[in-house]
Structure formats: structure tokens, C-alpha cells
Amino acid sequence: MISDVEMQQHYDDFFEEVFVELEEKYGEIEEMNVCDNLGDHLVGNVYIKFHSEEDAEKAVNDLNNRWFNGQPIQAELSPVTDFREACCRQYEMGECTRGGFCNFMHLKPISRELRRELYGRGKRKRRRSRSRSRERRRSRSKERRPDRSRERRRSKERAGRF
């Protein structure tokens, strides 16, 4: 069985890999959030807020032609630019009684060290120092639901989801 420490390390490795690749290819990332929910509409969702709208549009266009862990990436622009309003406050305080099926986002946290490395003052000098195992199995994709509105997919907000 995998320990909590090992699980966090695997998650941090995934988070850093995605963050660094997308920031290097598309531009500065202000915020990246990964949902820890189990409900169909949130499971596996990764929300990324780029500094510029143009960077988000390019990322969405490119990522829709990619696969991750044997699954196609379903990227779209999101009308949400302030993720704080979509987060479950009860979960943040350790008091959510709805568990993984809550309709508000339960964000999976990264380690403090990784947060400092990716978002801290030394951000521009960061290097990919963590070991990378390409054998790891992970998934962040989900099927696109057919009931999503066209208007939402065409939103020109600067927050992108992939």
C-alpha cells in the first residue's frame, strides 16, 4: 500500500510536471488548481489561470490535440476567473459533510516546498530538480458532457481548464 507521503510526492510530481510544461510553452501561470472531488462534473478537472488571455487561448487550442495517460485532453476556456468563489469553504476548514460529491471545488493542495518553488520569489530561477518517472500512471482527463453550452466554451476569459 502506498503511504500518504508517497501519495503526496506523486501528486507534487504530477503538479510540477504539468505546471512547468504549460508555463514554459504558453506563458505565466497565475494559479493552477486540481479538484479532489469525485462527482462527474468535477472529477479529474485541472483549472489553470494564465496571466494573459492570449496564452490561455493558445493553451486550449494546443491541448485539445493532446492525450494524457491514454485519454484525450478536453480543454476549454472557463468564465470563472476567481476560483475562491467556487471552492468549498467547509472543506478548507475540514468540515465538509458532502465528501467528494460536494458541488463546490475541493482543491488538492501541493506541498509547501513546491508552492514556494512554483509561486515564490525565486520562481523564474526554478529548475526541474525532482526525479521523473515516466512509468507512473495518472489521469486528469474526463469526458466532455454534451450539455455544456456553446457560449461557455467560447468565453474569452483568461482562465483555462484542461
CATH number at residue 55: 3.30.70.330
Q: What is the pTM (predicted TM-score) of this model?
A: 0.73
C-alpha span between 112 and 114 (Å, rounded): 5
Task: Give percent helix, percent strand, percent coil of the chain, each to the nearest 5.
Answer: 35, 15, 50
pLDDT tens figures, 139-157: 344 444 333 333 333 333 4
The pLDDT tens digits for 17-72 are 999 999 999 999 999 999 999 999 899 899 999 999 999 999 999 999 899 889 89
Question: Residue 123: which pLDDT band, with cuts at 50, 70 and 90?
Answer: low
Cell output for 35: 479538484
Cα 32 from Cα 94, distance rounded (Å): 21
Query: Which structural domain, as residue segments, surrounds residue 157?
Result: 4-161
Helix (H) or strand (E) holding 22: helix 4-26
Closest Cα partner for 42 from 86, 84, 96? 86
Looking at the structure of the chain, the number of domains it has is 1
Task: Answer whether 75's CB lies under 8 Å from 55's CB.
Answer: no
What's the pLDDT at 83?
A: 87
pLDDT at 122 over 70: no
